[in-house]
Amino acid sequence: MTDQTSSKTDISRRSLLKAGAAAAGLAAGSGAITGFPTIWAQNPITLRQFGTGVSNLNAIAEKCKEDLGITLEMTASDSDAAAQRAVTQPDSYDIADIEYWILKKVFPSGVIQPMDTSRLTYYDKIVPLFKTGKLLPDSVIAQGTAPHTVGFVEGPDSRTFAKGETGWFTMVPTIYNADTLGIRPDLAGREITTWADIMDPAFRGKTSILNIPSIGIMDAAMIMEAMGNITYADKGNMTVQEIDATIDFLIEAKRNGQFRAFWKSFDESVNLMASGEVIIQSMWSPAVAAVRSRGIACKYQPLKEGYRSWGGGLGLAAHLSGAKLDAAYEYINWYTSGWVGGYLNRQGYYSACMETAKDYMSADEWGYWIEGKPAQGDILAPDGTVMETAGAVRDGGSFEERMGKVACWNSVMDEDRYMVRRWNEFIAS
């Protein structure tokens, strides 16, 4: 009797909270209010979130506290450490802020619970890339672990990925980008047009790729194909023979002195480029912006073979229930309601809910970052520093131009363990 009453009360309370969140979301979208009216200020909740430094940002935690009254305890690490923690320490977090290729390693272990899309206020505004794999109806689905292939499960207790859109998300997408090579145009001495350019002998000792095996191997694959050395059936799921050919190539290049370094963190990549130690390297868009903000020429170079892409999202820990689970859903609805999306877009990333993010950006910011238009005035970073001045155009152009030219997504291969072993052999060589 008690269990039944408790269950009914909980269901009733969840329904009320859902309705309240939806109403708040509508009001916020209309511009009638700022922030979400909630019960969390009177009933304090702390959510522990971990993930990579890309999106575990203090400003988001501060704004969440201000708007919701929910305290976010954020822990940032590199991608490999995040994947390991997700599986081995499932009680140490409430929200997993991880990438989709990591999800392929993590979700089948049961540490993240499927997410009921009917509780997501802005589900219908999520860009189709995360539901169908296509940004536009005529887009080609890229190789690798495309987010939509690991985005859905069949039900609340499922651990296997569904083939298409269902009412159950593995996690809600939040952030993504199309990655390419960063260059120092003032030091390169010529135009850079292809991934193969990183292996030009003219740049010997002045290049770098990132040392996260599942991502670095994808950059290597883009380079290998661009050089005409190999054509992969699927760069994101190489055979043993393809892995061997790729790693053997990297080892030879390393022994020939082609690489200056192998970076793991955002700051390392910025320092290598800003110092001039490296002229061309794997890079992330905000890292290029960080170099430029120091007054140093740096470009995120569009290449003819297209981009390597990645995406991340927020997953719910399996142990969440009751008020904490309600708070987690409200946090996710707040996260996708626009402020965070605008914040991420202004760093050069993309929001999964573009429509809501637009309300939190000026027309000039939206034009520069999303539409590929020349800036009309100063383009500011989230911290207020000037990133670009009038007339500047974003490297690679518009959102549709960049995300529409994705060649592959970061991935976990069937032969992942073998690939990592061979990658570590390359780094140690």
Of 36-45, 88-97, 184-193, 196-205, least confident by mean pLDDT is 36-45
Check whether residue 158 and residue 197 sit in a common domain.
Answer: no
Q: What is the pLDDT of residues 129-145, one digit of tens each?
A: 999 999 888 888 899 99
191 and 172 within one domain: no
Neighbours of 41 (CB within 10 A): 12
Quick check: is 363 in a domain? yes
Same domain, 76 and 105: yes
* Mean pLDDT for all residues in the chain: 89
Is residue 146 over pLDDT 60?
yes
Average pLDDT over residues 14-20: 39
Q: What is the pLDDT of residue 197?
A: 98
**Number of folded domains that form the chain:** 2
Can you tell me the mean pLDDT for 303-309? Answer: 94
pLDDT of residue 55: 82
Give domain status of residue 31, yes or no.
no
pLDDT score at 36: 54
Predicted confidence (pLDDT) at residue 183 exceeds the cutoff of 80? yes
| 130 and 225 part of one domain | no
pLDDT at 41: 64
Does some domain include residue 33?
A: no
Question: Do 287 and 233 reside in the same domain of the chain?
Answer: yes
pLDDT bin (cut points 50, 70, 90) of residue 39 is low
Both 203 and 321 in one domain: the answer is no
Whether residue 1 is predicted with pLDDT greater than 50 in this model: the reply is: no
Q: Does residue 129 fall inside a structural domain?
A: yes
pLDDT of 44 reads 85
Could you list the residue range(s) of the whole structural domain that residue 74 is in? 39-177+309-369
CATH number of the domain to which 101 belongs: 3.40.190.10
3-state SS track over the chain: CHHHHHHHHHHHHHHHHHHHHHHHHHHHHHCCCCCCCCCCCCCCEEEEEEEECCCCCHHHHHHHHHHHCEEEEEEEECHHHHHHHHHHCHHHCCEEEEEHHHHHHHHHHCCEECEEHHHCCCHHHCCCHHHHCCCCCCCCCCEECCHHHHCEECCCCCCCECCCCCCEECCEEEEEEEECEEECHHHHCCCCCCHHHHHCHHHCCCEEEECCHHHHHHHHHHHHHHHCCCCCCCCCCCCHHHHHHHHHHHHHHHHCCCEEEEECCHHHHHHHHHCCCCCEEECCHHHHHHHHCCCCCCEEECCCCCEEEEEEEEEEECCCCHHHHHHHHHHHHHHCCCHHHHHHHCCCCEECCHHHHHCCCCHHHHHHHCCCCCCCCCEECCCCCEEECCCCCCCCCCHHHHHCCEEEECCCCCCHHHHHHHHHHHHHC
- Least reliable range by pLDDT among 26-30, 185-189, 248-252: 26-30
Q: Let me know whether 173 and 183 are in one domain.
A: no
Quick one: pLDDT band at residue 265, thresholds 50, 70, 90? confident
Lowest mean pLDDT among 78-92, 146-160, 234-248: 78-92
Q: What is this structure's pTM?
A: 0.84
Which one has a higher pLDDT value, 95 or 265? 95
Report the C-alpha gap between 86 and 109 in whole angstroms: 10
Lowest-pLDDT choice from 52-61, 290-299, 329-338, 340-349: 52-61
Same domain for 117 and 221, yes or no, is no
Task: State the pLDDT at residue 213.
Answer: 92
- Which is it for the CA torsion 328, 145, 55, 385, positive or negative? negative
Q: Is residue 1 part of a domain?
A: no
pLDDT recorded at residue 12: 34
Query: For residue range 69-125, what is the model confidence (pLDDT) as tens digits?
Result: 999 999 888 888 888 999 999 999 999 999 999 999 899 999 999 999 999 999 999
- Asked if the structure places residue 26 within a domain, the reply is no
pLDDT at residue 319 is higher than 60: yes
Instruction: Give the CA count within 13 Å in the CB-facing half-sphere of 166.
Output: 21
> Is 25 a domain residue?
no
Say yes or no to pLDDT of 348 above 50.
Answer: yes
User: 344 and 220 in one domain?
Assistant: no
CB atoms within 10 A of CB 63: 18
Same domain, 294 and 395: yes
* Residue at 5 is within a domain: no
- Regarding whether 326 and 210 lie in a shared domain, the answer is no
Average pLDDT over residues 384-390: 88
* 77 plus 55 within the same structural domain: yes
Q: How far is CA 342 from CA 277, 337, 345, 393, in A?
A: 33, 10, 5, 18
| Residue 271 pLDDT greater than 60, yes or no | yes
